[in-house]
Chain A
Amino acid sequence: MSKRLGKGGLLINRNKPIKFEFNGRKFSGFEGDTLASALLSNNQVLVGRSFKYHRPRGIVSSGSEEPNALVNLGENDKFEPNQRATTTELFDGLKASSQNHWPSLNFDIGVINNYLARFLPAGFYYKMFIHPRPFWKYIYEPFIRHSAGLGRAPSQKDNSKYEHFYAFYDVVIIGGGISGLNAAVTAAESGLKILIMEQTSTWGGRSIVDFPNIYDETSLEYVSRLLSELKKFENVTIRSRMMGAGVYDHGYLLGYERLNDHLNTDDGPRHRLWRIRAKQIITATGAIERPLSFPGNDIPGIMLASAVRDYAVNFGVSSGDKIAIYTNNDDAYRTAITLSGFGIEVPVIIDARVSGGGELAESARALGIRVENGKAISKVFGKKRVEAINICDHKNSTKDREKIKCDSIAMSGGWSPVVHLYSHCGGKLKWDEKLALFRPDGYAKPTSFDGQPFVTAVGSANGLLLMHDVIQDAWEGCLKVIQAARGKVKKKSPKETLHERANAPEAIWIAPQDADIKKRSKIWLDFQNDVKVNDIELAAREGFESVEHAKRYTTLGMATDQGKLSNINGLAILSSSLGKEIPKVGTTTFRPPYTPISLASIGGSARDDLFQPIRKTPMHYWHEKNGAYMEPVGQWRRPFCYPKEGETHAKAVEREINQTRSSLGLLDASTLGKLLVTGPDAGKFLDMLYTNLMSTLKIGKCRYGLMCSENGFLIDDGVVARIDEQTWLCHTTTGGAENIHGHMEEWLQTEWWDWKVYVSNVTEQYAQVGVVGPNARNLLEKIGGLNVSKDELDFMEWKDGKLGKYDARVFRISFSGELSFEVAVPASQGMAFWNDLVEAGEEFGVMPYGTEALHVMRAEKGFIMIGDETDGTVIPQDLNLNWAISKKKDDFLGKRAQERSFMVNPNRWKLVGLETLDGSVLPDGAYAIADGFNSNAQKLTQGRVTSSYFSPTLKRGIAMGLVINGPSREGEIIEFSKIDGTIIPAKITNPVFYDPNGEKQNV
């Protein structure tokens, strides 16, 4: 059994017991434990189930590479799935539960997949779920959705705080092991601004466990001395519990700081995302041990050799009573020596190398530990826990030599440098044949804006595994970095330290070497996703030869650990299946983040009210106070309608329309884009931008204009007013103001930069009110001061003046078909002006109306709306707006594109009105079906609904739509299909449903 030892545990405080829950059972651990070490100390080795076969899974590692020990952590608003027990620090009251099992961790029905494994090979889903077609929707998809996914999604809103932090450094060092700390001390002396971060809560990395002494100090003393030296420097920032998550272009770096995950508190932010710009980055990220690939290597109790000694030294926890060791390198002997020091039985060290190990192996032998060279594990006994192993010759597995009892196996397949951060931004790797690992290619580092390298890997992350090499490399690498960041270089080389010698590891990708298919189908590569050696071999046979294809076909390395343990072993199997060399096959792409980071940290404080700035018109608060139901329009909030108590939105819209059409309505039109275009060449410029002629517009007049992209498609519309000889005021759609301003700037700056034109966006300088309805003129006359009679201010004219006490510009334009004035006053006067209109309008029953009433009224008049009738594929000609396209102009944006053959094709979908035969409202976006089917056996279409409303004026549903050859088919009845498959017939009509001769607006 795994248990707490009587001694040891550098990180735990045995005087501070901590209570926690796992799967509803109460457990106890110590301060300083991780959830994984605390579970192990309670003999809870089984912690989860694998993804595909639901096989029992135990803790494998002691760090962020953990593929198995994923738990649901916390509850309610603190709930989070897929948290690694190995990196979760224990706190009082922690609650965790295991994942991916049903009904219980101990007894899981899904394990039946395990017995079907030979029918569920790689690519099974792709092959199986294609036919018959309808099965996908009704059987396969619901089944897969039920069984897919690891953790549960949280059911409550996360109320913790998250924040972003922007920082700038000369040198950032990622990793707080001895190479990171040594690099930091060297860098600190240069006077540069330095940040060093460590993902765990403790410093020193592997050195504390792996080396009792460094120089003449204990490794603990050595590390804390380096740290206290660092703290003396004012130019150094030191952060623990902060992971380097990703390295991006030009020295951009994300740091992920977990501030109170280890505390049971809500004080301060939970996670902080550091958005860093670094001139130089040093990755001192160490290395990750690789598992060995032998039959039954996924059974709980089998762990990485380094993890086994981590748990013993750091937490005083043993992973078993009898721990066998299986290795292909010298490093794992440390585990045997360590365990022996704790008095834990090591029944055997199995070394795959015939020649065996070096100095460390000698030490292990001297301790009386049995060492078997040139051997392999051919079978592991046990289901939810290792019980015993069979060993055989590594190169001849036909005969089992011996059965050895053990309840845990410490395995080591060698080490892989953590090259992720080095690789994120284009750093290249090279294969080190001798050490059997991919290491950073020092001549192909990621480069920055100046073409110079900006990421340097040092220490184990650079492929150096022995103490002296690591310290020397950290120093040398750092000197180059300091020079690159233009700091002062002090040449003070590190002291000589102990020189270890190690025998070379032997690259063992499959053990025993001659394992037959039965054995190979029990050798796990990816423990979480259940990818086995035979799956990779199958992928290779089926032609998935690229490592990226094999990955996606088998899901190797696609688990939450992103292949930290499995990738190198997997691609080695792939390369041997293909008969290629490992460097020829290469690695899959390393992508950020290094380990998953919380989505909330990416959002930072941008949530709720701070999600985005809200734009408010001067009358915004009046609308809110008067019961408006607001809708987002871009970043604005506009009243959709003003429902009275107990009134539905539909009824409110109806009331607003009826009152406007019969007497008087008010619309807050302040959000309308207002661009002032000024200069000697302004007319010429607008003639290029609009399809109409704007240069000929007379001062005091207004003209409705259309703007197209250079590709010919309609992008915006609005009324243009000629203010003076050199000034035009262009109204744009609410959502289009900023884009159209940008569009104008682009053409002025990049094409016609010699034209003398200025554009200013004055949208927010004015409050604009639509005064609409038969009593509109009466209201303005009552306010007084400005002659707004038909003779003085005719349709499509504007004038400036004092309206009451306000500095007003009155446009006589109409988007509703009624007699209508749009009055602009300075934004600061908007609220007072609106109040006066409401007060003075009382005798006419004045009623504010919202955007929905606006939409319905414009549809009743057949006016188009950008974004409804247009979708980026519609040209003005489709909307029968040929009258607004100048034939006199040689050129305007989009003119040439509109001459293309398919743009002048008479069979384009064109704007029509649509009336259902029964008066009902057509569903917005519904398609008109035509006879026949396309090649996908879908019905052919001949048109679609672009706007559809209930018209209170006509008391029936009205719609606008685009129909093939529409205008020439007036009176024809076509059929629209609803989502439920039923059909609604509708008659093609003229799109102007109301007052076609404009008698109401022209009074």
Chain B
Amino acid sequence: MLILKCPYCGIEADETELSPGGEAHLKRYGPGSSDEELEGYLFSRENPKGVHFERWRHVYGCGKWFHAARCTATLEVFGTYSAQTFEPPKEIIKIIKVKRPGWKWRDLS
């Protein structure tokens, strides 16, 4: 039962208030994309034991989607941030670099 801070309403939300939305920062591939691109967009997902970026929705709260950066192995939360971004904010990357030297996630490291 995780606790994640909703970056919109500021509440330390219990997992029962939240709904998970899978991996964060996917790029949408629509008409005109190749089969490989579409497959990657729809189905290929990271499955890290360690640093991960996820989408969550504060569904029984303010209703907003947000992103969370956390460690799947230790459950440490490095930070939560707006859903309206293409990549994790620099501050959060900085925190992860300190706490998890040598980390890697997709093309981030």
A interface residues, Cβ below 8 angstroms from B? 248-252, 277, 425-426, 447-451, 710-711, 742, 745-746, 749-751, 753, 890-891, 895-897, 899-900
Contact check, B83 vs A448: say whether CB atoms are below 8 A apart.
Answer: no
Which residues 67-109 of B have a CB within 8 angstroms of A?
A: 70-71, 73-77, 83-84, 99
B interface residues, Cβ below 8 angstroms from A? 1-4, 14-15, 21, 28-33, 35, 38, 42, 55, 57, 59, 63-65, 70-71, 73-77, 83-84, 99
Contact check, A750 vs B83: say whether CB atoms are below 8 A apart.
Answer: yes
Minimum CB–CB distance for B16 against chain A, Å: 9
Contact check, A895 vs B31: say whether CB atoms are below 8 A apart.
Answer: yes
Residues of A within 8 A of B35 (CB): 900
Residues of A within 8 A of B57 (CB): 742, 745-746
With A746-B57, A750-B55, A899-B31 in contact, is A249–B2 under 8 Å at CB?
Answer: yes
Contact check, A751 vs B28: say whether CB atoms are below 8 A apart.
Answer: yes
Closest A residue, CB atoms, query B59:
A742
| A899, B35: Cα distance in complex, Å | 9
Not counting A250-B75, A277-B3, A749-B84, a sample of 7 additional A-B residue pairs whose C-beta atoms are within 8 angstroms of each other reads: A425-B75, A451-B74, A710-B28, A745-B63, A750-B84, A897-B38, A900-B38
Residues of B within 8 A of A750 (CB): 21, 55, 65, 83-84
Minimum CB–CB distance for B82 against chain A, Å: 9
Contact check, B2 vs A447: say whether CB atoms are below 8 A apart.
Answer: no
With A447-B75, A749-B84 in contact, is A250–B99 under 8 Å at CB?
Answer: no
Minimum CB–CB distance for B49 against chain A, Å: 12
Contact check, B31 vs A896: say whether CB atoms are below 8 A apart.
Answer: yes
Residues of A within 8 A of B30 (CB): 891, 895-896
Contact check, A250 vs B42: say whether CB atoms are below 8 A apart.
Answer: no
Closest A residue, CB atoms, query B65:
A749
Instruction: Tell me the total A-B contact number using a CB cutoff of 8 A.
Output: 74
Residues of A within 8 A of B31 (CB): 890-891, 895-896, 899
Contact check, B76 vs A450: say whether CB atoms are below 8 A apart.
Answer: yes
Residues of B within 8 A of A749 (CB): 64-65, 83-84
Contact check, B1 vs A448: say whether CB atoms are below 8 A apart.
Answer: no
Residues of B within 8 A of A251 (CB): 3
Contact check, B76 vs A449: say whether CB atoms are below 8 A apart.
Answer: yes
Contact check, B99 vs A896: say whether CB atoms are below 8 A apart.
Answer: no
Closest B residue, CB atoms, query A901:
B35
List 20 contacting pairs A-B, 8 Å CB cutoff, sorted by A: A248-B1, A249-B15, A250-B2, A277-B14, A426-B73, A447-B74, A447-B76, A449-B3, A449-B75, A449-B77, A451-B76, A745-B57, A745-B65, A749-B64, A749-B83, A749-B84, A895-B31, A896-B30, A897-B42, A900-B38
Residues of B within 8 A of A899 (CB): 31
Residues of A within 8 A of B59 (CB): 742
Could you say which of A451, A753, A896 contacts B38, with CB atoms under 8 Å apart? A896
Contact check, B2 vs A449: say whether CB atoms are below 8 A apart.
Answer: yes
Minimum CB–CB distance for A323 against chain B, Å: 47
Residues of B within 8 A of A425 (CB): 75
Minimum CB–CB distance for B86 against chain A, Å: 11
Contact check, B29 vs A896: say whether CB atoms are below 8 A apart.
Answer: yes
Minimum CB–CB distance for A427 against chain B, Å: 11
Minimum CB–CB distance for A243 against chain B, Å: 19
Contact check, A451 vs B3: say whether CB atoms are below 8 A apart.
Answer: no
Minimum CB–CB distance for B85 against chain A, Å: 9
| A449, B99: Cα distance in complex, Å | 13
Contact check, B42 vs A710: say whether CB atoms are below 8 A apart.
Answer: yes
Closest B residue, CB atoms, query A450:
B76
With A710-B42, A749-B64, A751-B28 in contact, is A451–B99 under 8 Å at CB?
Answer: yes
| A742, B63: Cα distance in complex, Å | 9
Closest B residue, CB atoms, query A275:
B1
Closest B residue, CB atoms, query A452:
B76
**A250, A426, A745 pick with most chain B CB within 10 angstroms:** A250
Contact check, B33 vs A896: say whether CB atoms are below 8 A apart.
Answer: yes
Contact check, B83 vs A250: say whether CB atoms are below 8 A apart.
Answer: no
Closest B residue, CB atoms, query A894:
B30
Contact check, A746 vs B2: say whether CB atoms are below 8 A apart.
Answer: no
| A432, B8: Cα distance in complex, Å | 48
Minimum CB–CB distance for B18 against chain A, Å: 12
Residues of A within 8 A of B55 (CB): 750
Closest B residue, CB atoms, query A754:
B84
Closest B residue, CB atoms, query A425:
B75
With A248-B1, A249-B1, A449-B3 in contact, is A753–B76 under 8 Å at CB?
Answer: no
